Amino acid sequence: MKGKELRRDNYCFVCGEENPKGMHLKFRRENGRVYGRFTLSKYYQGYDGVIHGGIISLILDESMAYLQSFEERFLTGKITVRFHSPLYVGEEVKVEAWIEEERKRFKVTRAVMRKASGEKVAEAEALMFVFKERKE
């Protein structure tokens, strides 16, 4: 990535509004945390009626990346996901992400996904590398 600029172009598979094949999920920031609420369709299933674990991991990763500021960009260096219970097609879930530890060049972030009932679906921890925005 040396010399490369990390630019936003609204084409992110998870949240990009301009990606015609994207998920178009919305996240919000509040008090240093990121929140999302979603219901996923059969399009994202693995087994019949069960949301694919890779999709769950993708959403957790995106929620942690959303913790970045306008001055910093995050790239996932390492992510560990632990699954607790299956997520079924059509079930509403809530996602919450936060920064656990801050260093100069990286952040340790965490995220959890729960069903509307409160049952934990999955949780993740990621090492996010920080790239500062270049001032022109």
> Would you identify the CATH topology of the domain 27-132?
Thiol Ester Dehydrase; Chain A (3.10.129)
Tell me the pLDDT tens digit for each residue of 32-49: 999 999 999 999 999 999
For the chain, which residues make up each domain, given as ranges? Answer: 27-132
pLDDT of residue 53: 97
Tell me the pLDDT tens digit for each residue of 70-117: 678 889 999 999 999 999 999 999 999 999 999 889 999 999 999 999
pLDDT-derived band of residue 2, with 50, 70 and 90 as boundaries? low
CA dist., res. 32 & res. 97, Å (int): 9
